[in-house]
Amino acid sequence: MASGQGRRFGSNKLLVPVEGIPLYQRAMTTLARAGLHRLAVCSPYEEVLSAGASLGLLPLSNPNAQEGISASIRLGLEAMSDMDGVLFAVCDQPYLTTKSIQRLIHSFLQSKTAICALSWQGQRGNPVLFPRQLFGELSALTGDTGGGAVIRRHPERLVLVAASSPRELADVDCPGDLEGAALP
């Protein structure tokens, strides 16, 4: 999901380089290496869509990005409706690793009905992999409501999968979150 407006950041944070690589490209490269069956990127930004296509991701133009995260969820689910599960990842976690994505996939394959979320010390984070049985509920989300609302309705399905480090779950909301990173 790469449709954020960057309001708290003050500009399009997806274009900001971390260690010389834009946030959106770091996320797409990490996911592309994880062995997922189909990848898509939802964004209103042509630069992001083009970069995704060059990495083999299905580019999904999101004209309703201003609605909030639910627009990206619905758009992504339309492209993945035939899958057993869908992993939703955001593009503002610069230190997410392919290894952790692969652990999420492995955990999901053990059950195929669980909601598998990356975590650290029992705290749920992103990405999250949802089973097909919950696609209808995810598609019904509106506004700036994400998958957390569905998780709260099905806590018994939640399986937390430990990240390799807490740094993986750190997201970028404001420029201060990138202290130590290479800012333009």
**Ordered domains of the chain (ranges, CATH):** 13-178 (3.90.550.10)
Asked if 1 and 69 count as a contact pair (C-beta separation under 8 A), the reply is yes
Q: So what's the pLDDT on residue 158?
A: 98
Q: How far apart are CA 141 and CA 145, in angstroms?
A: 6
50 contacts: CB under 8 Å, gap ≥ 6 = 59
Which range has the worst mean pLDDT, 3-17, 51-65, 106-120, 126-140?
A: 3-17
Asked if 59 and 19 count as a contact pair (C-beta separation under 8 A), the reply is no
Q: So what's the pLDDT on residue 176?
A: 76
Using the predicted structure, report yes or no on whether residue 175 has a pLDDT greater than 90. no
- 111-142 per-position pLDDT tens digit: 889 999 999 999 999 999 999 999 999 999 99
Q: How far apart are CA 3 and CA 6, in angstroms?
A: 9
Query: Rounded to whole angstroms, what are the CA distances from 120 to 81, 92, 123, 162?
Result: 30, 17, 5, 6
What's the pLDDT band for 3 if we cut at 50, 70, 90? low
Q: What percent of the chain has pLDDT over 70?
A: 91
Using the predicted structure, report yes or no on whether residue 180 has a pLDDT greater than 90. no
What sign for the dihedral angle of Cα 126, 72, 25, 37? positive
Question: Is residue 153 classed as helix, strand or coil in its secondary structure?
Answer: helix
